[in-house]
Amino acid sequence: MERGERYIPWREAKLWRCIRCGECCRAYIVPLKMNEAASLTRKYGPVVVYYNGKYYLSKKGDGSCIFLTKVNGIAYCTIYLERPLTCKLYPFHLSVKPMEGVSEENARIEFEDMELYLYLDSLCPGIGHGYRIEDFIPKIVDLWRIYSSTR
């Protein structure tokens, strides 16, 4: 699946809420910043993989995130309060450039002095449920700024 095929513009999704299914913890490989990798390794031991010059969270044998647990069918992150920024942003993807092959107009947001493009991972089952995405935009942009500044 091409990147543009996997993402949809936020205006086409309109609503989102985490339904605690844990699919993101199975389908997604979590990239880490160097400081996140160091912190998690210090606290939890060998939970980070280094591959092709980048750090990632380890996976369990079933392919799920090492920190995913399920209780009565509900997914929980065992490090929720200290989860990586990538996890905090999921299923949102914010960019200064539009994705090729995806509606530019439906993804565009104007926030403060910036023109940005906001997409959602179409594999997330929480799309179309819950809360208005436009209400999340300030928080998404704040997290994205933190993520971008630590690259």
Coil/strand/helix, residue 87? helix
Strands in 86-149 per DSSP E: 92-95, 108-111, 114-121, 131-132
Domain boundaries, the chain: 3-149
Of 66, 70, 22, 76, the closest CA to residue 46 belongs to 66
State pTM to two decimals: 0.86
Q: Predicted confidence band at 102 (pLDDT cuts at 50, 70, 90)?
A: confident
pLDDT in tens, 106-132: 999 998 888 999 999 999 999 999 999
Compute, in degrees rounded to 10, the torsion defined by CA atoms 151, 146, 44, 78.
-130
CA angle 102, 13, 90 (to 5 degrees): 85
Q: How far is CA 32 from CA 47, 55, 71, 84, 113, in A?
A: 11, 5, 26, 7, 28
Structure-block tokens of residue 79: 């490090």
pLDDT in tens, 29-86: 899 999 999 999 999 999 999 999 999 999 999 999 999 999 999 999 999 999 999 9
